[in-house]
Amino acid sequence: NAGVMQNPRHLVRRRGQEARLRCSPMKGHSHVYWYRQLPEEGLKFMVYLQKENIIDESGMPKERFSAEFPKEGPSILRIQQVVRGDSAAYFCASSPFSAQRREQYFGPGTRLTVT
Amino acid sequence: AQTVTQSQPEMSVQEAETVTLSCTYDTSESNYYLFWYKQPPSRQMILVIRQEAYKQQNATENRFSVNFQKAAKSFSLKISDSQLGDTAMYFCASLTSGTYKYIFGTGTRLKVLA
């Protein structure tokens, strides 16, 4: 059973460009979570999605960031007009259900560098 | 709000020795889970050990064990017989039962010395 897949692993963008980060959850998992890790910090929750629904985006910056999890295909975290402060590692996690134990399985992360 | 505090930014230990990483947390909830994750240079988040708050017995996974002090809200990780491959960042995290937001500490960078 393949784990959570994220691509690309490394992404370099110039200021003002768009960044698209992809996450394929584990097989059978329909809940996806995105976290951001700034340098020398722990992971911080950004958004929680189920298929075709955003459940909680309270950790997402209000502007330039968006996320989706379509019926078919991976979850996408999109950052428009990137700035240097967006440089971070972005982790995706998935879980098979959203109640009780809630253990999430993390992907390897995408390291975004904005030049 | 829930918080997780790791007060040791860096630690080192000699190979084969034992080291303990500290973690304290603050929550008003009664049901929750605590985790230790390892993040090696590859940046992959690897679950090391998990503890359910309602269980009094401390969790153990091979060379890794925890000292869970619920009243003191303390959750330390003990690594026995340290190996070079244990060199990594270690994050303590909490998760309230019925929710989905992990709360992570800022991490402890552990270096195992040959």
For A42-64, write each residue's pLDDT tens digit: 899 999 999 899 999 999 999 99
Distance (Å) of CA A64 to CA A21, A68, B73: 14, 14, 38
Hey, are the CB atoms on A101 and B33 less than 8 Å from each other? Answer: yes
| Residues of chain A numbered 44-73 and touching chain B (CB < 8 Å) | 44-45, 48, 56, 59
- Cα separation, B110 vs A99, whole angstroms: 33
Q: How far is A106 from chain B (nearest CA, A)?
A: 6
For B54-99, write each residue's pLDDT tens digit: 888 999 999 999 999 999 999 999 999 999 999 999 999 999 887 8
| Residues of chain B numbered 47-86 and touching chain A (CB < 8 Å) | 47, 50
Helix (H) or strand (E) holding A31: strand A31-37
Amino acid (1-letter code) at residue A15: R
Q: How far is A110 from chain B (nearest CA, A)?
A: 9
Answer whether B26's CB lies under 8 Å from B73's CB.
yes
Residue among A26, A103, A110, A112 with most chain B CBs within 10 A, to mutate: A103
Q: How far is B32 from chain A (nearest CA, A)?
A: 9
Distance (Å) of CA A48 to CA A23, A31, A68: 13, 7, 10
Quick one: pLDDT band at residue B100, thresholds 50, 70, 90?
Answer: confident
What pLDDT, on the 0 to 100 scale, is given for residue A1? 53
CA B7 remoteness from chain centre: 12
Amino acid (1-letter code) at residue B55: K
Amino acid (1-letter code) at residue A13: R
* Secondary-structure percent of chain B, ordered helix, strand, coil, rounded to 5: 5, 55, 45
Hey, are the CB atoms on A103 and B101 less than 8 Å from each other? Answer: no
